[in-house]
Amino acid sequence: MTYTHEALADMLWAQAEGLYTDEAAVDLVIRHDVWLRRTDFHRFIQVETAPETVDTPMAMVQWQDAADALNVGDLAGSTSETAVLRIAAALGGGGPVDLRACLGSLDTTNTHLVTRAIRHANSSGGRWEA
């Protein structure tokens, strides 16, 4: 089944909600607004049918698989696109990331998105900051 990027965002949020590092990873990918629009990335998103009482199906990114695909060249993007995905994957549990290599390729907008995600992942209150 094919899903819009908006539907995927809703499903990813439904799964991540309440887990700060997962929320941070998902929010970073959603706000970056690249990967959820790419059908070649959709193979790393597992959609689960939620129980009857839940209106929104849940989905999760297979972060390690996405990071591995980047590493072997099975998933490509610009330097900043891959850096954002690598950082999101690390936040989501997809292994370590070389921050020196990733941060050097980010513009101001993407640096803000990454900083926001890292702050949220480290928060205790869970309240998003602008």
What would the pLDDT profile of 46-105 be if each residue is shown by its tens digit? 998 766 656 778 999 999 999 999 999 999 999 999 999 999 999 999 889 999 999 999
Please return the burial class of 13, using the count of CB atoms within 10 Å of its CB with bins 0-12, 13-18 and 19+.
Answer: middle
Question: What DSSP string describes 112-124?
Answer: HHHHHHHHHHT-S
Q: Is the pLDDT of residue 119 over 80?
A: yes
In tens, the pLDDT along 94-103 reads: 889 999 999 9
Q: Give the C-alpha distances (Å, rounded to integers) separating 123 from 22, 53, 104, 119, 128.
A: 12, 30, 25, 6, 9
Q: Give the C-alpha distances (Å, rounded to integers) separating 15 from 2, 47, 51, 65, 95.
A: 19, 10, 13, 18, 20
pLDDT given for residue 111 in this prediction = 98
* Distance in angstroms (rounded) separating the CA atoms of residues 35 and 40: 9
Kindly report the backbone phi and psi dihedral angles of residue 78, in degrees, each rounded to the nearest multiple of 5, phi listed first: -65, 170
pLDDT above 90: percentage of residues in the chain: 83
Partnered with residue 61 across adjacent β-strands are 45
pLDDT given for residue 1 in this prediction = 77
40 three-state secondary structure: coil
- Domain range list for the chain: 5-119
CA 42, distance to chain mean position in Å, is: 12
